[in-house]
Structure 1
């Protein structure tokens, strides 16, 4: 399969392989500073507010000056992701694969809560930077001592990550009737007034603590994985 030029350029940028331009004046800032400025805009006003023009203005430079560092908005978003994900979780102090995966999911969810725009831009066929790549690498280490194959371990990490992604929107304030967005008090009153029509939602709204969306689903996933690992260990032990 031929190498896509834009993806190769993205890889060079994220992995530090791109040589800085020798033309023009000496660079006044760097990619990390650009990324931090763009992340601040996205955190404050949403990803739709991020543009080359807006980020340049935040830095006090012209839009054209940014093109010495990133070729387009796709590259800008890529460096934003790399800046926002932060260091991968250190699971060395956690005992047992299940506890390690729970901690991985907890920290991944925490990062996405700090940067609610991240889940929507970390999907699809794309080049990841070394910091983002270190996250699944860390999670895979949790399963190193299990009898699962390498492909199965990667499937587990994908399943856990996708579960966090799927429940992220439901845990973000304002996106569902049981979270603490601006419309929550109105929805709470409407549900209580119409509990005869929506008894399940009304009861759920009244009894579900904030921040627990997705916890039950993760436990179910790990319960099933625990059984699969135990079954595989039994099968391996029975082989001559």
Structure 2
């Protein structure tokens, strides 16, 4: 019995290992068409716009016909996420820090183009070919560090999680701005309101934060800054802090 026979059906479909048609002719519908159509709907209408009936209607088929190619809505989301992520870029340079930074920025750019991706529910560890390719790229970069496998996986989880969290936050802020709420103004209003509630005797450091200039009217050079530039600066700062920690761990090894 071939080793492929032990691969679960969902993984066979994710890796495109499905059996060919026994009728000897190409089927009218296949996984790639279903997934590509579903991703197109998500790109246009967001993740909430993707339903099996809508995908089937766009393809000119009935909803039941999709179950031959995707076992469920949850499986369709897994297939969509791996397809939409795409392959990672080729690594550049030999420095682990620059490589990991480029890896994080490249993944963040994918999430910026397709913000719905960060809202796909996590269904387990990476399992699709594109997800594994991104993991392989990061592990190849970390191979230059001398870290052991637990530390490599820890760094990968930390950096990848930071990218997803940052992209999800950017997406939510963008949605708020689309509804007429400006991010900087909203943050200042939030700080002013909480400053009335946060007492220095109970929350001394937080009270100092709210009374600082950070949440007051921004200086002219920040006031004219594009929201995307501010988000980029915030992301880079956080990523640098993480990479500083990785560098310290590498130095200890």
Same fold (TM > 0.5): yes
Structure 1 gaps, min length 5: 1-6, 233-240
The size of the alignment, in residue pairs, is 222
After TM superposition, the score normalised by the length of structure 2 is 0.76
**1:152, 1:191 → 2: CA distance?**
36
Moved more, 127-136 or 103-112: 127-136
8 Å Cα contact 1:15/1:130 also seen in 2: yes
Measured after TM superposition, the shift of residue 47 of structure 1 is 1.3
| Matching residue of 1:184 | 181
Measured after TM superposition, the shift of residue 146 of structure 1 is 1.4
Aligned with residue 215 of structure 1, among 231, 236, 252: 236
Measured after TM superposition, the shift of residue 18 of structure 1 is 2.4
Alpha-carbon spacing, 1:23–1:52, altered in 2? closer, same or farther (3 Å): farther
Alpha-carbon spacing, 1:138–1:231, altered in 2? closer, same or farther (3 Å): same
Summarize the alignment of residues 146-157 of structure 1 with structure 2, pairs less than 5 Å apart.
146-157=145-156
**1:75, 1:192 → 2: CA distance?**
42
Matched, 1:201 2:221: no
Alpha-carbon spacing, 1:78–1:196, altered in 2? closer, same or farther (3 Å): closer
Alpha-carbon spacing, 1:174–1:166, altered in 2? closer, same or farther (3 Å): closer
CA offset digits 1:192-221 (Å, max 9, x no partner): 789865764355684663431322110001
Summarize the alignment of residues 96-115 of structure 1 with structure 2, pairs less than 5 Å apart.
96-115=95-114
**1:58, 1:211 → 2: CA distance?**
36
Measured after TM superposition, the shift of residue 25 of structure 1 is 8.1
8 Å Cα contact 1:174/1:183 also seen in 2: no
Matched, 1:9 2:9: yes
After TM superposition, the score normalised by the length of structure 1 is 0.79
8 Å Cα contact 1:42/1:49 also seen in 2: yes
Name segments (4+ residues, structure 1) moved above 6 Å.
Answer: 190-195
Measured after TM superposition, the shift of residue 172 of structure 1 is 2.1
Structure with the higher fraction of residues in helix conformation: 2
**1:124, 1:45 → 2: CA distance?**
22
Measured after TM superposition, the shift of residue 53 of structure 1 is 0.5
